[in-house]
Structure 1
Amino acid sequence: MIRNNSKIMMASSVHVWTDTRIFFKEAQTLASNGFQVSFYAIDFESEKSVIPNLKMTYLKPVKRWQRVSHWKFLYKEMLKSDAKHFHFHDPELLLVARKLKRKLKNEITITYDMHEHIPAAIKTKQWIPTIIRKPLAKLITVIEKKLMRNCDTVIFAEKSYKDNYEELLLQKVDVLNYPVFDNTNWKKQKQDCLTLVYVGVLTEQRGIYNMLELAVALKAKMNGNFRMNIIGPIFTDEATLNAFIQKHQLEENVTLYGRMQYKDIWNFYQQADIGLCLLHPTPNNLNSHSTKLFEYMAAELPIIATDFPDFIDILTTNNCGKTGDIFNAEVLADLVLEMDADKKMLEDMGRNGRVAFDKFYNWKNEEKKLIAIYK
């Protein structure tokens, strides 16, 4: 079979097709630069559109233990394809990559796109029993590196990941997860009360209850004159979450919106005054430059974030936000009140963040590295 050097098969058996990094950034970037992209990902009920050079195949959502059916399907599809390049977004698909490489050898190139450092993440995965997390993380470290030797390139979404793979002899490229943002007709929309926003996965480790505790403290200090819009898929017990909101009578102040299309979150950013990023100090989070920080910068939102060293450095250097102890809701509430009391400081921080985004933290800089891998 003659391989088409302009064809890329991109696959995820874990992420929904609307995942911001793989669909709105990588797949669309490659398609708009002349590559023919076949993109396989989990189906999700959202507005679908036809994009030149981008062919979508939607995989049925299944339980974790059933995903092996997707691996088999993807392997068969890839064997039939005349694509030169294969791009995998999940560590579990390294099993497919190995089988594909053994079959097709140097006819093809394989890129592994590492979204998180899995061995570190395993240590805090709530669905994994605590007693086996450490030994499992060690085992996964060995297996992952062995399987990655079947790849030609590994893409790191964070600079810190590379340090764990120095011994691997393959091309390593940092393609950081900075936002895509079109500032055409961008204008902040002032609301009638202070509005805070968070966009991201909702779990304990991502700070969902820290935000709610902050809301409780603000309700007492501001007589309820604030809004908190929380947007993202809920990966914790929803009944317990709603019970907390009802117990503390936060229904008028806090709204959970669920997963939302990337283009729609910017409407909420336009209406917000402060962006929240209250991540817990887990091994994975400590080394993470959370994408939401840079989305907030793009949207000219001052930021309140966890007092991680890297977060302190980014927000202090660019003077675009404040950090605090996320386990002390009173301290966080005082930060909010301090920022709300000084409108000029709010505006200056928002403007400073936007300048930093335009210079350093935007997808336009990163997409050049992605395109270079295939050109």
Structure 2
Amino acid sequence: MNNRNPKKIMMASSVHVWSDTRIYFKEAQTLANQGFQVDFYALDHPGEKINIPNLTMHYLKPQKRYKRFIHWRFLYKEMIQSDATYFHFHDPELLLTARALKKKLKDEIKITYDMHEHLPAAIRTKQWLPRIIRPILSQVVAYFEKKWMKYCDTVIFAELSYKDNYEELTLNKVDVLNYPTFPNLNELVVKDNVFTMIYVGVLTEQRGLFNMLQLAKSVKDRGIQTFKLKLIGPIFTDEERVQQFIVENHLSDNIELHGRMQYKDIWAHYQAAHVGLCLLHPTPNNLNSHSTKLFEYMAAGLPIVASDFPDFTKMLTEHDCGKTSDPEDYDALYDIIDFYMANPEKNKQFGENGKEAFNRFYNWEREGEKLSSIYSSED
């Protein structure tokens, strides 16, 4: 099809739900607001679905991991029939589809690969993969990822560190960092009556799920009864083990599990809380990334307790908006929480410092401009 629409972008994911924060609330909506026509394909999931000008939604039926090739074939057929000039992929597995598409349509189209994580490094710590095969699988994936990325015109890096692994590739490289957007809230949210710690995101062992539970236990073991730990997000580990820990340690009145929540709804919870937690494990991907949670806590004016990774410590110290610790050192973590509980004015000052840093350096507005420029420069 030679008569292509130069303002049309087909954006696709076979892995993420449609309401994924980065893809839908930031990227798709930013491009639509800039006047691009966005055809958006992602997994269906419960949530409030609204009509947005220039944004056409297509919901894919969720499939088990071994059946996701069904989506690849469907998306390829949709793309072949589309009159879009631009195709924007969010998953490494869709590089196969990108390769087939580019071979078929050649220079009629432009392809963008949006890299959310450095997959070869992530594979080395994927808990659902047998440990014995992770190293060789990581090497195989690294080889084919680079080979298939050559069929793309642009790669977007969600973290600054990712590009170091792709220096030999000659395609256009753009950093679009995963900084937050802050919604306009209709009413002032007051703090919870009891001291509340919060985490929002996927709940796994590597992202500190059991570290946060153990921290709650430490707080209670020190005789503090009235506090909350709010965990908002899907649990991608043994949920029965989580519930067992809560019951055995008498934490049912202290821990709230909210499940996945729409992006616009998390901000009231942030603003009602007192401290944001980010107790990630030191895996290669975690060490080389700036967790989006840190910037969301800054945006919401929350002081932070985070893992003592060098980059985390440097940033929180520079902006004087939080403290870091070894995520396994529960005495040190308790001391930080005790400090926040005992010093509400300092707590408030940390939050204000973080919000100022968000407004000056870490908000989505500038990143959205970089995203739009990828397509605007082709006009």
**Same topology, TM > 0.5:** yes
- Determine if contact 2:233/2:259 at 8 Å carries over to the other structure: yes
Alignment match, 1:158: 159
Bigger mean CA deviation after superposition, 104-113 or 176-185: 176-185
1:308-339 deviation per Cα after TM superposition (whole angstroms, max 9, x unaligned): 00000110000000000110222111110012
Say whether 1:130 aligns with 2:110: no
**Within-5 A mapping of 1:1-375:** 1=1, 2-183=3-184, 187-375=188-376
* 1:138 alignment partner AA: Q
Structure 1: which 5+ runs fail to align?
A: none
Q: Deviations over 1:67-93 (max 9, x none)?
A: 000000000000000000000000000
Local SS of the residue matching 2:59: strand
Aligned residue for 1:146, secondary structure, equals helix
C-alpha deviations, 1:202-248, integer Å up to 9, x for none?
Answer: 00000000000000001122421111100001100111111111111
Q: Can you give the 5+ residue segments of structure 2 that lack an aligned partner in the other structure?
A: none
Contact 2:270 2:300 in 1 (8 A): yes
* One-letter code aligned to 2:332: V
SS in 2 for 1:276: strand
Of all paired residues, the percent bearing the same amino acid is 62
State the distance in 1 between where 2:351 and 2:250 align.
31
1:358 match: secondary structure: helix
Give per-residue Cα distances to partners, 1:121-145, cap 9 Å, x unaligned: 0000001100010111011111000
Q: Post-superposition shift, 1:183?
A: 4.6
- What is the CA–CA distance in structure 1 between the aligned matches of 2:62 and 2:47, rounded to whole Å? 14
Q: Distance in 2 between matches of 1:42 and 1:333?
A: 40
For 2:282 and 2:314, the matched residues in 1 are separated by 16
Q: Counterpart of 1:213 in structure 2: which amino acid?
A: Q
Q: CA deviation at 1:186?
A: 6.6
CA distance in 1: counterparts of 2:236 and 2:192, whole angstroms: 30
The whole-number CA distance in structure 1 between the counterparts of 2:136 and 2:320 is: 41
What root-mean-square deviation, in Å, do the aligned CA atoms of Structure 1 and Structure 2 show?
0.9
- Name the CA distance, whole Å, in 1 between partners of 2:187 and 2:222: 32
- Give the TM-score, by structure 1 length: 0.99
Q: 1:240 to 1:252 in 2, by over 3 A?
A: same
Q: CA separation of 1:47/1:185 partners in 2, compared to 1, >3 Å: closer, same or farther? A: closer
Structure 1 residue 270 displacement after superposition = 1.3
TM-score (ref. length: structure 2)? 0.98
Amino acid at match of 1:192: N
Q: State the 1:184 CA deviation.
A: 5.2
Q: Secondary structure at the match of 2:35?
A: coil
Kindly indicate whether the alpha-carbon contact (under 8 Å) linking 2:42 and 2:60 is maintained by their aligned counterparts in 1. Answer: yes
Q: Secondary structure of the equivalent of 1:121?
A: helix
Structure 1 distance, partners of 2:190, 2:225, is 21
Q: Measure how far apart 1:187 and its partner are.
A: 3.9
2:306 aligned counterpart, secondary structure: strand
Q: Quick one: distance in 2 between partners of 1:310 and 1:188?
A: 31
Kept in 1: contact 2:120–2:139 (CA 8 A): yes
Q: Distance in 2 between matches of 1:186 and 1:316?
A: 32
2:85 and 2:108 in contact (8 A); partners too: yes
Q: How many residues align?
A: 375
Q: Deviations over 1:281-303 (max 9, x none)?
A: 00110001000100000000000
Moved more, 326-335 or 270-279: 326-335
Amino acid of the structure 1 residue aligned with 2:224: N
